[in-house]
Structure 1
Amino acid sequence: MLPQERPPRPPSDLNTLHPAIWPATAARTSGAVTIGGVDVRELAERYGTPLYVLDEEDVRSRCRDFRAAFEGSDVHYAGKAFLCKELVRWIDDEGLGLDVCSGGELAVALSVGFPAERITMHGNNKSAAELESALAAGVGRIVLDSFEEIARLGALAERLDVRPKVLIRVTTGVEAHTHEFIATAHDDQKFGLSLSSGAAAEGVRRVLDQPRLELVGLHSHIGSQIVDTAGFEVAARRLAVLLVEIRERHGLVLPELDLGGGYGIAYVEADTTPDIKVIADGLREIVAKVCANAGLPIPRLTVEPGRSIVGPGGVTLYEVGTVKDVEGLRTYVSVDGGMSDNVRTALYGADYTARLASRESEAAPMLSRIVGKHCESGDIVVRDHWLPADLVAGDLLAVAATGAYCRSLASNYNYLPKPAVVAVKDGISRLIVRGESVDDLLRGQL
């Protein structure tokens, strides 16, 4: 959601945890927020703040929901949203595939024995070393993004005597209704081969000229934070035109169609949240219809949810450091993290919901801006939000829906260590990613 020019009216209850925004197990117990049955005050005391908290049951249940909704299709978790060894184990347990877009993400998956045949390798500029690692591991699919990559992979496959299955990433020209930086299917951007220019068709020809590459399908990803199927329908129709062209020109009927991911989640109460069953039924209907109209057999569908699996189950805990009233405007609430642990507000203009988490309050609402401790005026966690007027230093704030694209985009700006990630379930907390120390920040410096 993009920021509003004016903040909404204050909610009637500043203590409520809206179920569409907060993790499935989030609740208040004796005033404090609990997640997975664990009191946030206990988490802060044991692991420190800032702290990423991940509701394991929430994440696992969303994996199961996607598998059920897309029965008969392939569901691959998009690892770029957030990836660590323990999360890979959950994804494996729940029977999902996995998308990776770098050699590092691939290494994380392989380190815990994730089945390589259920991995798809993405990326707009995969290096020869990354491609070689993918081939050596035997990943199930490699998505090709450029002419150079087709030639590079073809040469590597010849040298290694392997025949990988590949898809062509097609830029369909669909303008997704989302922020410019997360819309990925319009022509003027770095991903894929353009359908309208003929580059996608030429990419198909070049792949078929490579004897060691097996073309099995087309891939499209129209963007992120999408809440309906309209854009997917346009993309599917345009991909069907290319599928027909491939059949007529090359005598080849491709058996797979990957429509990517990008399903939205709620960050604030005004956000619309898609019903994944409705999305799944809609996508299947769209693919069946466009294929019937084109005289094509229905290909096997693949989808790539990331944010919609891990985003809602994540919460970030902060400790309030200063509360500064700027008379006539708003109150600035400074926390012990900021843009180094959540850059989305600065990068995309993202909005979030926050709550006083260490206690309840019946104080009047005050218009607040939750900011970090970095030397940037744009270091904003939540741009405009209502918080209790009795907020003081030492209180804990929880920011909801931070499971996706927060830890994965984290930095060491101003030499702040990256926070730990803790999983919670059934009243037990477990450290799954160790927080950085000063020694970590200095390691590698000469």
Structure 2
Amino acid sequence: MTVIKESIYEPLTEQTAIELANRLNLFQEGASLTCNEIGDGNLNLVFHIQDTNNKGIIIKQALPYAKVVGESWPLTLLRNKIENEALRVHGQFVPSLVPEVYYTDEELAVTVMEDLSYLQIARRGLIEGKDYPLLSQHIGTYLANTLFFTSDYGMNQQNKKRLAKEFNNPELCKITEDLVFTDPFFNHETNNFEEGLKSFVEELWADEHLKLEVAKLKQKFLTAGEALVHGDLHTGSIFASSTETKVIDPEFAFYGPFGFDIGQFIANLLLNALSLEQDEREKLFNHVEITWNVFSTTFTSLWKTESVEIFSKTNGYLDYVLDQIIEDTIGFAGCELVRRTIGLAHVADLDEISSDDIRIHAKRNALKLGKALITNRKQIRSIEQFVTYIRGVLQHD
């Protein structure tokens, strides 16, 4: 395929996105194309291009700054390469659960990929009350395969070290370090919360035991290069239907701890649960259980049949690894609950609750639950105990 490249980076418009699609010959010659910029995230432009037969593609372009703040917050365009490579690597292990990539251009920071517009962003669907019966099964499968096969258990250790160098992602990791593990636990200017939460937030900031436990989790995030993690696996990074699931947007990918992706996903299920009445939450708790059970069962099977680590046959080693993963998962989930409530980037699950009283109440519960998970994660040894513990924390809300 011959492509005429622009000489310098320039943000695409709807018209230049169509021109790029034509140069790539992704539609029939002379096809009438329409284009809409549909990006609702903080970091990128996203264009949906269709012909008159409803054949479509997605063109995603990284911006050199964070949309949520503006040009005063510059960002590297190399994150586009990170995202492409992560989709390629993860696609080797779970091709049905990630979008197909058609073309990439590092200079333009562009990725052209499969059109998933026939699916719905899982966060929006959950807010609307959809169940997505296969969501947790699919995500558990995604997590087990992508984490196992990019770890020292699923690939040659030397190859893993070489792969880890390709996913050196300091700028986006710094965003996570600050916005997930640091800023929400201090009186920082990036924090954003309602006046009705102020007393709860100030109490959280004054809790030295909580800060100690967050510091330990941050240290794990900074130092544990266990597997290639997605790095931003929330329900807004997943397209879903009743039969399909596709994980998108791995631009935060890096070599990090096993439990980070699992914890972020589970926390976002819990954030949706917290927006519901008590009797409506069980379907989300069920998703939490299924996610972990599918992950642990699949990871165990891969460990027994595919591990390249000789110590994998040592009695007790697998149990030790899974115990550490669930402990980290619970702690990371707690951090995500706190930061999505009072940090810079919120979630629509809570922010769109129209009643001020109900919204503040739900957010107080998110802070209470987040703090409890961070500080008591070592006492929870199974997913059943985890969900029972959550019910206990929330039973008097």
Do both share a fold (TM > 0.5)? Answer: no
By relative contact order (CA 8 Å, sep 6+), the higher-ranking structure is: 1
* Shorter-chain TM-score range: under 0.3
Name the TM-score, length of structure 2 as normaliser. Answer: 0.25
Name the TM-score, length of structure 1 as normaliser. Answer: 0.23
- Greater share of residues in strand: 1
Determine which structure has more spread, i.e. the larger CA radius of gyration. 1
- Greater share of residues in helix: 2
